[in-house]
Structure 1
Amino acid sequence: MRILAGVGVLAAAVTVSCGGGEVACTMIGTPVGISLDIEQPLEAEVAGATMTVCWAETCHTIPVAHGFATVDDLPAAPVKVTVTLVRTDLAPSIEQTLEVTPELAYPNGPDCGAGGPQAGIRVAADGTVTER
């Protein structure tokens, strides 16, 4: 009898915890901005990078650090981005412009609210720039 009662309590506890109650959300932050991935062997030839991000008649030129450009007021709407790569071998810099659409990121899942907009850009080994 005790064993059956214990199993019943355990089953009730599992049901309550899986029953869709409150969702636990952490205070994890979301960096707002645009990531930059550069393919090899081009990545080894890049000494530095900047992005000029434009929307609503305003432009911000931002250095890329550790593959990310922080854009504080980045909207979750289309923006024009000019990527400039400065090469180490004195070859001409690579500069290309494209439109990307940042999307809201949900670091704790959709039930915990959005953390901020992010976008991603990929530079192929031949210098072609595309949205990731």
Structure 2
Amino acid sequence: MKQALHGCTPRGALARASAALTALLLLTGCGAGEHICTLRDSPTGISVDVPPKWADRAAEAELVACWDGRCHGGGLRLQKELREAAPSSEPPAPWPGFAVVEGLPEDGRTKVRVELVLRDEGGATVLDERTTLVPKPTYPNGRDCSPGGWQGAVTVTKSGKLTSR
């Protein structure tokens, strides 16, 4: 049996491929201990927590966000199924919701006026409150990676006031 030339045995090919892959990883900055940034993103918008006292009465929710003389927003879905899936707690957990608001300011300084309106089955207003917030960047891949969507967060208090968090 003749000896293969230039390391063309299966074992030699595997060794060459392994060496090439190692070199490629080193050249691209990937290696043990490095933080990998994925393509994971987060939406731009405003999260809302509404305590059951108010959410149980709401058939419809609307969130409007205004800045620089323009308003954006519309429907907001309070996610009852997420609340029901959470372990029971005392006091009962708030109903979470999220309103996608495209184009929120990304400077970390601009104040956004937020209005939250809850209506009952007959269309009567149950809650109509306002507050201001400054959107902040989110980091779904960690702070070593580029930010995802900019977000704000508001909470309805037990007494029915809207506060930013």
> Structure 1 residue 52: deviation in Å?
1.3
Indicate the percent of aligned positions where both proteins have the same amino acid: 33
Is the CA contact (8 Å cut-off) linking 1:42 and 1:126 kept in structure 2?
Answer: no
Shift in alpha-carbon separation, 1:106–1:94, aligned structure 2, 3 A: same
Indicate the residue corresponding to 1:35 in structure 2.
Answer: 47
TM-score by length of 2: 0.63
Alignment of 1:6-45 (within 5 A): 17-18=32-33, 22-45=34-57
2: CA distance, partners of 1:36 / 1:128: 13
Which stretches in structure 2 are left out of the alignment for 5+ residues?
1-30, 80-96
CA RMSD across the alignment: 1.8
TM-score by length of 1: 0.77
Is 1:70 the equivalent of 2:103? no
| 1:81 alignment partner in structure 2 | 114
Q: Greater strand share, 1 or 2?
A: 1
Q: Which runs of 4+ in 1 moved over 2 A?
A: 87-93
Cα deviation, 1:75-112, whole Å, max 9, x if unaligned, reads: 13311111111124775431111111110001011111
Contact 2:57 2:126 in 1 (8 A): no
1:119 counterpart SS class: strand
Q: C-alpha distance in 1, partners of 2:129/2:148? A: 29
The letter for the 1-side match of 2:103 is D
Query: What corresponds to 1:12 in structure 2?
Result: none
Aligned residues: 114
Q: Counterparts of 1:84 and 1:38 in 2: how far apart (Å)?
A: 11
Give the Cα–Cα distance (whole angstroms) in 2 for the partners of residues 35 and 120 of structure 1.
Answer: 5
Following TM superposition, by how much is the alpha carbon of 1:58 offset from its aligned partner in structure 2, in angstroms? 0.7
Which letter maps to 1:111?
Answer: D
Aligned match of 1:120: 153
Which ranges in structure 1 are unaligned for 5 or more consecutive residues? 1-15
Max Rg structure: 2
Q: Is the 8 A contact 2:118 2:125 kept in 1?
A: no
**Structure 2 Cα separation of the partners of residues 75 and 50 of structure 1:** 20
Q: What is the CA–CA distance in structure 1 between the aligned matches of 2:64 and 2:123, rounded to whole Å?
A: 22
Comparing 58-67 and 86-95, the one that deviates more: 86-95
- C-alpha separation between the residues in 2 aligned to 1:63 and 1:96? 15
**How far apart in 2 are the matches of 1:45 and 1:58?**
30
